[in-house]
Structure formats: C-alpha cells, structure tokens
Chain A
Amino acid sequence: MFRNYLSIAIRLIQKQPGYAFINIVGLAVGMAAFFVITLFITDELSYDKHFENSDRIYRVAVHGVTSNGDVNTAMTSPSWGPEWMDEIPEIEALVRMKPPQQMWLVAKDDLKFFEKGFVFIDSTAFDVFSFDLIRGSQETALSAPFSVILTETMAAKYFPNSDALGQNLRLDNAYDFTVTGIIRDLPGQSHFKADFLASLSTLRTPIYGDNFLESNLNMSLYSYALLVPGTDPSVVATKIDAYIDRTVGEILKTVGATIHTALQPIRSIHLESHLDSEILPNGSKGTVMALAAIAVFILLIACINYMNLATARSASRSREVGIRKVLGAERPQLIRQFLGESFIISMLAMVLAVVLVLLILPTFNTAAGKALTLLSSGFLSAVAIFLGVAMVCGLVAGSYPAFFLSSVTPAYALKGGKLGAAGGGMLRKVLVVFQFATSIGLIVATVVVFRQLNFTRNMDLGFDREQVIVVQLTDVGVRALFPTFRDRIEELPSVVSISGTSSAPGFFIQTNLVLPEEASQEETVFAQTFFSDYDFVETLGIRVIAGRAPSEAHPSDSLGAFVLNESALGAFGWDSDPNLAIGRRLSFPGGNFEGLVIGVVEDFHAESLHEPIEPALIAVANEQSYFYAVIRIQAGSTKDAISEIGRVWQDLYPAYIYQYSFMEDDINELYASDLSLGRLFGGFSFLTILIACLGLFGLASFTAEQRTKEIGVRKVLGASMGQITFLLSKDFARFVVIAFVLITPVAWIGMNRWLDTFNYRVSFGIGTLLIVGLGVLAISLVTVAYQTVKASMANPVDALKYE
C-alpha cells in the first residue's frame, strides 16, 4: 500500500516538476528561516543558564530617586556585599565583580593586547559561579592581591609554549600579576565576559585609589548573591534596603535621594535588564518575540502555499479520489495517502532547507551579531528540530487537501465535478490574503526601521559628527603627557583642532549632581558632564547662543568655568533668557569642584536618539579627567591625519597601543541593535514575499488552466488580449488590496509603537503604507503576468475543443 502511494507521489513530481519545485522550494525556504530563528532564540534564551544553581543567583540592582531624576544602575557600592553576607542569612554566598570600564592593556613581555574580559572578582567567585578550575586551588587562587586566573584560551595566547601557572602578566604597564589558576573557557552566552579572573583584593592598592573597596556610596562594581534554596528574592531586597537605610540613609537624606534595590535573576539579565552600566549590550525580549512570530508566520506561509496549490489542483485529483473510493478505499486510507504525499514533499524540502541554512547563516550572523552554526544547539536537537518541523509542515500542509479531497462524493467526482472552484475557493482566497498581509506587514516594518535609521544618521545632532577622530586615553600615564600630545597634534597640517574630554558622544556619558549657588540641596540637577579642554566646543562644532566658549585667553577659565546647554537652563529655571545664566556659580555637592557659567550652547545629542536630551554641562578641567581626545581633521585628509596622529602617539607613548575611531561610527554604533532589527526584518520580509510569490505563480497557472474555456468563449465573443489579461490580473490584485486593507492598521500601530521608543523620530503615515502596498501589488502582478498573458494569447479554438 505504501509503495503504491509512494510511486504516485514520485510520479506526480516527475509529471509536474514545476509544481513540485514551487512546493519544495517554498517549504524549504520557510523551514530554513524557521530553523535559523530557532537557533537564534535558543541562543538568546540560554544566557547564563550554564552556571550551576543559576536559578538561585541574583544580581543586586540599584534604583535611586533624586529630586531631579531617577538612576537605575546594575552596580552597587564596594563595601556593601561582604556586610550583607554577614547579616542576611538567606544569602548563601556573595561575590563582587569589577569588569574594566573600557579595556585593560595586558602584557607578557612584548605580547600586548587590550583585553575586555579582565575582571576583578572576590575569592568567593567559585561559591557563586561554577567556573571550571582545571589548574590551581579554589581556596587560594584568588585570595592574594595580584593573583590572576586565566582561561585556557588566554593561557595559550600569552604562554603559547610554556606552563602559565606561576608566571607573571603585566597590567597597564604597571602592575604584575601572578597566574594562580586556569579555568575552562566560559560559554559566550553570558551577560559578562571573563577571560581573566583577578583577585578583587588587588583593588586595595592604587589601581582605583586606595579606599576603593571601602567606599559605601559609590556604585562602581557588581554584586551577585547565591540565595538559600526557596528564598523569596524580594525578602532579601527588603533586608538590603534596610541595611542601606541604616548605613548611608543620613547622607542620602541630605541630598534628597532615596535608594531601593532589586534582585535580578541572572538568567533574565540578558533579555530583560536594561539598566545603566550593563556590562555588555543586552538582548531584547521584544526582538526575540518578534522573531518568534516571524518564524511561525514564515512557516505558515510556506505551508499555505502547499495547501493552496493542492486545493487548486483538487479538480484533477478528485477524479482519482472518486475512483479509489469506488475501488473500496475508505476515508482514513485516502487521508493517509494525501498526508503521505505532503510528508514526502516536506522531507525533500527539509533536505534543501539544511543546505539553505548553511547558506543563510553567515549573513544572518552578521545581521544579528551572533556566531551560530548548524549544530550550535547540539546535533540531536538540530536533527530533532528539523524532523519535527518537517513532520509538522507535512501535517499542516497536507491536512487541508487530505481532509478536503477525501470527503468528495465519488459520483460527483467521477462526473468531473469542479471541486476546486466550489469547495476550496473561499479558504484559498483567505490563505492568499493572509500571505500577502504578512508580506506587506514585514516590508512596512523594514521600510520604517530603515527610514528611522536614515533619519538618525542625517539628523542635526547639534554638533558636527563628521571628520572627528576619537583617540582613547586609557591610562594615567597617557593622560599625564596629554598637554604635550595636544601641542604636537595641533601643529599637524591635517588637524583643525583637538580637545581632551571625560565623555564623548557615542561613548559612555558621565552624569553628575550639580548645585546652583543659593539653592537648597533638594534643587540639585543631574547633568551629563564633559570635563574637558578649552577647545571642546570648537572641536565638536557645538553652537554657542550666549556668552562664550572657554578659552585660554581668559586665565580665569582655568579656575572653574562652565558652559551649559539649553536643557540645563531649563532644569535650573533660567530658560527665560540665556544671558541670565552667565556669571552664575555652580558646584558639585561634596564641594570639590565649582566655577562660573561663562556660556550657553544649543542642545546637542551625546546619546542615541532613543534618549531625550538631558541637561549637560561642559566644565573646563585638567588633563587628569580626560578619557578621550577628540580631534577634528581637515576634510579630505583622513588618511594623513590617522597616520600623522599615530606617529605622534608612537613617539610619545611607545608602550601603549594607538586606538582611534571615527565619531560618526561610534554614534552609529548606538543604533547597532536597531540596525540588526532592520536587517532581520529586511531579510525575512524578502523571504516571505518570495514564498508568497512562488505560491501566487503556481496559483495563477492553475487558475488560467481552470478558466481556459471561459477565456476561449470570451475571445470568441471578441475580447482583446488586453481585456483578458486585465480580467485575470484583477482577481489577483484583489487579494493584495484586501490584504493591504487588513494589515494597514496593524502595521501602523505596531510601527508607531516602535518609533515611539525614539525621542526623535520620523513621521510615518499612510504614504509609506501606500508605497509598500503598490510595490507589492506590482510585484504580484508581474508574478502572474506570465500566466495571464499566456492564457490570453491562447487560441480560443483549442480551448473550446478541450471540452
């Protein structure tokens, strides 16, 4: 019996290779997209699950409320952790971790690299995180200052030909660490990156200042707690709040601030935590859900193709059903036959899908910033997913033809009854409309994402982001020589101007509490602060609207001079007239820095356009505050500038690596996740429209066939070729129009919601929707054109003889 079905299925493929091709390719593309997305989602969901007890590990996050804004940070104060450990019994183990703000320079003799994964961590690291130590002792490896544990990869990188254990590594050209252990590499699916585990006790030494580990109100490292099984994390958070209130509550009260903590399960950090100072850029639950929906839709669309084509062909298949019934077939046997056929098709599609996945993955990885492989979720699970998808597709795609065709009354079928038109017609239309609605929706999403990205790229940010090079000043030693560096850079012909600064657009922006004179403590304002050189305003091309920019010509500027942006004026209540601000005195609470306002500038966007413009102040400060040098170069001399600056750097700082970037790129980097979202939408919308058009092409050919007689009669009655083509095209155009009307509100609401995550966004109205709709209409008409024109050109006599 099975052989009988198999031979029918194979002969059908041989007899109508075009039909089989459309079905197999359509399904394969759908399956490949589904599989790639499954890989992505599995990867996103696996973050930090590799740690034993990961269900009991929590990171302590701080939510601070001040009179002028909220602070949500993933960091806590260094002194807190050990004391919580002592006084809160629900905490089974606690570890503090300090990853580098940017990177550390690590050296073994002449082997020098900037390392992102150099973290300082408590000796209790092994109590919380199940790092797999293969050399050294868990008890002692991290107890002494200047101890470091390497991953296998790092051990091989720095000590390629010798045993790393017991040898030295030099950090930042200054501090020697002894290798006390080796751990296995950590999986990439973690919200932090650790290639080096250095003892946190090292930080009692001057790396971060002598009292770093004792500071009790300085959110500057991360604390992780392993809770006793069965503990409610909110109970622990309450106890931590009580501790904070007891120890630093008084100080907080004087500046009008309150602090609450929350415990974040580490498994949820990657997708759900979006606090300030996340260690690495996190993923987004929204993207995961959007992709999951896309995966299901694409697969569904591919299955719909199969169903559509099968029902379109049902007229010819129904005769076979009739005969089989006459010969004694029962419905279940027929259902099995048709399901069997769709299984064969879907198995063939699966094989093609594996090939497609291999082709798609590199592009997908680039778009999504991942390193997925066919087997990255494991061989068995890959096989299981593929087979599972093929089975489900076979079932879903085959179900409609199977149940529909098997219900045919034999007498009717044998008389040549037109089932295709009568029975499957309505459902088929609904399915085609669904396909096009999905396609239009995805294309609209793609267009909107790219329009917004284009908008962000071209929007006036309040300064000139082009022709600016950012050089990182990573180290105290580098900063100390900055005045010399600046003077020599200024002399270069390719350079317009240079300024040192503590924060730069596209990078981490520091914020500080600022207090105007004669104001009470409650009136402090959170402001982005750029501690910088005299030429900062000039170098970035920020526009002055009142007063003046700092200048060496005014010696008093070195005693403390501030430039405010317009938003800062608003925050201080001086926005009626910018000149009001000039001459006012500002200070940072704590009293170590104060000065006069000398100028006001237009608002400028230092952060991504997702964020609103915040109060900002530019403060003249000396070179020890600079983390970056921003250098404006002559247009057209980019190459010269890079090499000339590099030569000066090598000359002055032979021990350090010359690291530069273009500010424009740094700023675009802020939209990396938006860009990858756009690329993903783009890629998948291409696939859906491809599948939908494949299906439409097949459908058009069957419709043309079904209507051969009608076309013949019309031609005999004098219809022209154009009229016939129009008649046939009209029906397909109707699908697109209905799909458009249905999807428009959904797309409009959905994409406006996404755009609302930007504080500065493009407008998105019916125009974009109409353009996409017309585009899809055009694509679909071109798709069916071949069939309709062919049908309209046919000789009417042949068509009528056919009867």
Chain B
Amino acid sequence: MIRLEKITKSFLHGFNRSFVLRNISLEVKEGEFVSIIGPSGSGKSTILHILGMLDEPSTGEYFFFDQPVHKISERKRTDLHREYIGFVFQAYHLIDDLTVYENLETPLLYKKIKGSERKSMVAEMLDRFNMVAKKDLFPSQLSGGQQQLVGVARALIMQPKLILADEPTGNLHTSHGEIVMDWFKRLNKEDGVTVIQVTHSDHWASYGDRVIELVDGRVERDVQNEPVPTSI
C-alpha cells in the first residue's frame, strides 16, 4: 500500500540545513496497524504529514498503491487523499464555527456527494458514535474526548482505506483515550482499515501490530508487536 524510498526532509536555517528526516525507507501493507513512536523532534509528525500528502519530502520517493506521489500533480494528490485517507489530530482540528453535524458533513461536500446521501451518511455516523443528541452543538461545547470522537467520526465518514492519527490521545484523559484507541482497533480488525498512528507513549503504541521507533529522523527500531486482546 505504502512504500517510502530514501525520504528526507530538511529545512534551511540561515546557512545551516537541519534534517528532520534522514533516508527513511519503509513499507506498510494494507490492513496493518502501525504505531510510530519516538521522542519530541524525532520526525514522527513530519513523516505522518508526508504519508498524508499534507507535506512534501525534500528528496526521496513515495508510492501509494503503486502511484508515485512525489511525481503527480497537486490535484491528483488531493483526489488520492480524498479517496483513501482519513486524518485524526491530537488537537482534534474541528472547524470551530461549524456544528458537529456540519463538521461531519464537510468532507462529503468536498467530494460532491448528493444531499440525501449525505444526510444518511452523517446520520449513520452520528448513530454509530452515539452523538445524535449532540449534532447541533459547536466543538467548544464538547469535552475533549467528545471532540476527538467527532474527529474520528469525521475521518471515517469517507470510508477511507487508511487512517493517519497524529497523537490522537495526546490531549485526552486515559479513559477517553481508551475509547478512541478501541475504535481504531475495531476498525482495523473488523473493516480492514489500515491505521498509522504517531504517539510517544509506549502504552498507546502497544495497540499497534507493528511499532516503528524514530530517533533523530532515522528508523531506530521496526518490530512486530504481540497482539493485544481488544477490550470489546
């Protein structure tokens, strides 16, 4: 599904070039649940952004379903990520001025899905996450955990093949974190959605089947986890 070949990312600071990622090569197969861990500044988020086509590598090649992402046009890339990728962020990143319902609806609008179909998709998602009663509230009226669930629901509404999660539990109480993580686990096992999450906690990393550790922009460790039994 995903293949990175010698990806680097660097910034110019005055006359110095500082590297965030150095020569990263890795492959992720469809249906995997990967946790990327590492200390602050190790490049975890950057690689996630590159995978999600939100950022471009300085050098290297990126193949997504065998398509050379580093070569195709911006429009094509938007199409790809619209079609296959859902995002979940540490800071939730809901649109403050839209209600829960409207936040869920927004990606469908961009995909130009018809009104009636849109309604049923949003309704289904609200139902699935038990948020029907909250559909007219604004993000600021929800707790962090609730906001993150809206974030997850929004990522799922497009039925993506890949979910990229950037410290999805970082701002949450542990109990809320568990709920979110269980959702990922279930999606991965039941629907075969590929999940890649970034975290700096071993606890959350252990939900993944595979753990990749980054240090100073290099892959330090890449191991398969013992499967953890789901609590549901």
Residues of A bordering B, CB below 8 Å: 1, 4, 7-8, 11-12, 15, 319-320, 322-330, 333, 409-412, 414
Contact = CB atoms under 8 A, between A and B. Distances in A.
B154 A327 contact: yes
B81 interface: yes
B52 interface: yes
Given A4-B109, A327-B87, 9 more contacts: A8-B97, A8-B98, A12-B97, A320-B95, A323-B93, A325-B54, A327-B106, A330-B78, A414-B89
B94 interface: yes
B54 A4 contact: no
Interface residues of B, number: 27
B55 interface: yes
A13 to B, nearest CB: 11
Given A328-B82, A328-B111, A329-B110, A4 B52 contact: no
Given A4-B102, A11-B97, A326 B111 contact: no
B54 A409 contact: yes
Given A330-B75, A409-B54, A411-B55, A322 B111 contact: no
Nearest to B96: A320
Interface string B140-153: 00000000000000
Contact of A324 (B55, B95, B102): B95
Contacts of A322: 93
Contacts of B200: none
29 contacts: A1-B109, A4-B102, A4-B106, A7-B98, A8-B95, A8-B97, A11-B97, A12-B97, A320-B97, A322-B93, A323-B94, A324-B95, A324-B106, A326-B87, A326-B93, A327-B87, A327-B106, A327-B154, A328-B82, A328-B110, A329-B110, A330-B75, A330-B110, A333-B110, A409-B54, A410-B55, A411-B46, A411-B54, A414-B91
Contacts of A327: 87, 106-107, 110, 154
B176 interface: no
Given A1-B109, A414-B89, A326 B52 contact: yes
Nearest to B78: A330
Given A328-B78, A328-B81, A410 B54 contact: yes
Nearest to B75: A330
A412 B49 CA distance: 10
A320 B89 CA distance: 13
B167 interface: no
Contacts of A12: 97
Contacts of A324: 95, 106, 110
Contact of A15 (B89, B97, B109): B97
A427 B106 CA distance: 32
Interface in B87-144: 87, 89, 91, 93-98, 102, 105-107, 109-111
Nearest to A416: B91
B166 to A, nearest CB: 9
Interface of B: 46, 49, 52, 54-55, 75, 78, 81-82, 87, 89, 91, 93-98, 102, 105-107, 109-111, 154, 158
Top 10 nearest A-B pairs by Cβ distance?
A: A328-B82, A411-B55, A328-B110, A411-B49, A327-B107, A411-B54, A410-B54, A11-B97, A1-B109, A323-B93
A8 B158 CA distance: 22
A504 B99 CA distance: 79
Candidate in A322, A326, A410 with the most chain B CB atoms within 10 angstroms: A326
Nearest to B164: A326
Contacts of A412: 55
Contacts of B96: 320
Nearest to A323: B93
Contacts of A330: 75, 78, 110
Contacts of A11: 97
Contacts of B82: 328
Contacts of B154: 327
A7 B95 CA distance: 12
Contacts of A8: 95, 97-98
A4 B105 contact: yes
Nearest to B50: A411
B95 A323 contact: yes
A227 B166 CA distance: 83
B49 to A, nearest CB: 4
A414 B49 CA distance: 10
A412 B93 CA distance: 13
A156 to B, nearest CB: 62
Contacts of B97: 7-8, 11-12, 15, 320
B135 to A, nearest CB: 14
A414 B154 CA distance: 17
B217 to A, nearest CB: 16
A144 to B, nearest CB: 80
Contacts of B91: 414
A411 B21 CA distance: 15
B54 to A, nearest CB: 4
A15 B138 CA distance: 13
A319 B111 CA distance: 20
Contacts of B75: 330
A327 B105 CA distance: 10
B43 to A, nearest CB: 13
A410 to B, nearest CB: 4
Nearest to B46: A411
Contact of A328 (B89, B93, B107): B107
A414 B158 CA distance: 21
B75 to A, nearest CB: 7
B98 to A, nearest CB: 7
A12 B96 CA distance: 10
B153 to A, nearest CB: 12
